[in-house]
Structure 1
Amino acid sequence: MVAIVFQVVCSFLVWLSLYHGFWFRNKHRSPEWSCRLVTLMHGLIATFLSGYIVLIDGPWPLTHTGYPNTTPQVCLMSLSLGYFIFDLCWCISFKSEDDLMLFHHMLSISGMVIVLALGESATEVNAVTFVSEITNPLLQMRWFLRDMGRYHGFVGDVVDSLFVVLFLGLRIIGGAWIMHSVVTSPRTIWMLKCGVLVMYMVSLGFLLDIYNFARRKVVKKYHIRRNEGTEGKNPKANGHPPAC
């Protein structure tokens, strides 16, 4: 357990050092820019490692819930726990996120602390990490595009479309599959069952926000194209109708 605590502390210090390094090199930008760079790095690393553990190294989360933690799982949980502690502290300090996101962070921290302390059930938490973090890099790319003024265009539409597809396919549909296997597992403790269930409820809350965003974006594009079509049918020259 001492070794695990040491890994978590080292992880926290690494993410904190990365943030300060990014901030030092990007003083002309906001602190959120540097924080989101750290978030992007964690999202990419966590997605790759958790995907490797789920799909290649194993064990399979739908059949081995509640089993003892493996070394790769412990390393990933320690790495991500250090990041979430850093990000939660940053969000509280800068008041940058709403209550739902802060609750998501605290729930993630609690789940990782429990599985590391118990020495089991990292399989299902790793699976939740995979379906949760795979959309994170796209979310950060969207923010950077908006900040650089390049969001409104083809690239922004592709990023948004991929984000929605992955969120629905993995976090909602895949998450429901994982939640069912955890809730019905005789080996997983009730506390983790409740945690996974609540985490899925949080995902549904995010889904509602995504739905409202997508609806507004579709309506906005519809009105823009409609106005363009109207202008095309009624051409004007110098602001006046052409002479007959």
Structure 2
Amino acid sequence: MEDYITNLVVFGVISWTTAFLATRRIFPNRSFDFSNRIVSTIHASLAVILSSLSVQHWSCPVCPVASKSSPKQMQALAVTQAYLIYDLICCFLDKHVKLDNMVHHLVSIVGIGAGLAYEMCGSEMVAALWITEISSPFLHLRELLKELGYKDTDLNLAADISFAVIFTSARMVGGPYLLYVTLYANNPFLIKAMALGLQLVSAFWFYKIARMVKHKLTKRITTKKVESTL
């Protein structure tokens, strides 16, 4: 891995940490999780922008496969690698560690680290970055709204449904296609393992999200029926 990329990862960890501390000062009465989700929303937006800018051929966003990563792709991956390291540390500090989330972080850190070390598979990896982060702003928005007092409102339900639709479209449609491309290309084993691991985690989260949406819609319909009878 080039020294420039290593330095970018280190600088990124420091930058994301600084952004979190600044957010804590701006919102002193909000929770640790609230500030972390603000930073996570900034990262998700930045990751989507950087991964989009690093696409080499829009006629085939995942092309060329199993090829040397471009400088823009390496930079986009380094920024996200730094964020993942920062966020994993935050999970431990907040004592809010979930097994599926930890697996996601570790798989992503190892996979991106392998991509940065090999300096290849940039097309597939920035495509994975785009797919995994495109729904993240809505994920964090729904939790931020809850802390701001908008739980069980139409606004929160809209955020839930938007997140579910975008997550499903990206991870359960685009994800399997990207997994197929990655597995059948001449990629290193670690890259293939990361792709498979991410898709398995995504499938598990899809199951949980489907249950969440079903529960919320059922609850909303039941509430409306009760209100109409009063």
TM-score, normalised to structure 2, is 0.94
Distance 1:61 1:179, change over 3 A: farther
Any stretches of 5+ residues in structure 1 without a counterpart? 232-244
C-alpha separation between the residues in 1 aligned to 2:131 and 2:61? 12
Structure-to-structure mapping, 1:29-44, within 5 angstroms:
29-44=30-45
The residue number in structure 2 matching 1:24 is: 25
**Inter-CA distance 43–115: structure 2 relative to 1 (3 Å threshold):** same
Give the superposition deviation at 1:57.
Answer: 5.9
**Shift, 1:25, TM fit:** 2.2
1:58 positional shift: 5.7
Matches within 5 A, 1:1-244: 1-54=2-55, 60-185=60-185, 187-231=186-230
Q: CA deviation at 1:53?
A: 2.6
1:61 and 1:178 in contact (8 A); partners too: no
Deviation at 1:220, TM superposition (A): 0.6
Offset of 1:153 from its aligned partner? 2.5
Is contact 2:64–2:123 with CA below 8 Å preserved after alignment?
yes
Q: Is the 8 A contact 1:19 1:35 kept in 2?
A: yes
Could you report, residue by residue, the CA deviation over 1:175-203 in whole angstroms, capped at 9, with x for unpaired residues?
01101111111x21222112101110000
What displacement does 1:51 show?
2.5
Residue 17 of structure 1, CA deviation: 0.7
The alpha-carbon deviation at position 52 of structure 1 amounts to: 3.0
Question: 1:56-88 CA deviation, whole Å, 9 max, x = no partner?
Answer: 666945442211010110111111111100000
User: Mind listing any 5+ residue stretches in structure 2 that lack a counterpart?
Assistant: none
What is the alpha-carbon distance in structure 1 between the residues aligned to residue 153 and residue 182 of structure 2? 41
- Aligned structure 1 segments of 4 or more residues deviating by more than 4 angstroms: 56-59
CA distance in 1, matches of 2:71, 2:62: 19
What is the CA–CA distance in structure 2 between the aligned matches of 1:11 and 1:192, rounded to whole Å? 22
Report the count of equivalent residues. Answer: 229
Matched position secondary structure for 2:75: helix
Q: Name the aligned partner's letter for residue 13 of structure 1.
A: I
The 1:174/1:137 distance shift into structure 2, 3 A limit, reads same
Distance (Å, rounded) in 1 between the aligned partners of 2:226 and 2:95: 39
Q: Name the CA distance, whole Å, in 2 between partners of 1:169 and 1:58.
A: 19
Q: Deviations over 1:102-145 (max 9, x none)?
A: 11011111111001100101211111110110010011111111
After TM superposition, the score normalised by the length of structure 1 is 0.89
SS in 1 for 2:187: coil
Partner Cα distance (2:32, 2:151) in 1? 20
- 1:3 maps to amino acid: Y
CA distance in 2, matches of 1:57, 1:21: 38
User: How far apart are the structure 2 equivalents of 1:74 and 1:118?
Assistant: 11
Distance 2:5 2:53 in 1: 21
Aligned residue type for 1:69: S
After superposition, the CA RMSD in angstroms is 1.6
Amino-acid identity (%): 24
Cα pair 2:62 2:123 within 8 Å, conserved:
no
Q: What letter corresponds to residue 115 of structure 1 in structure 2?
A: G
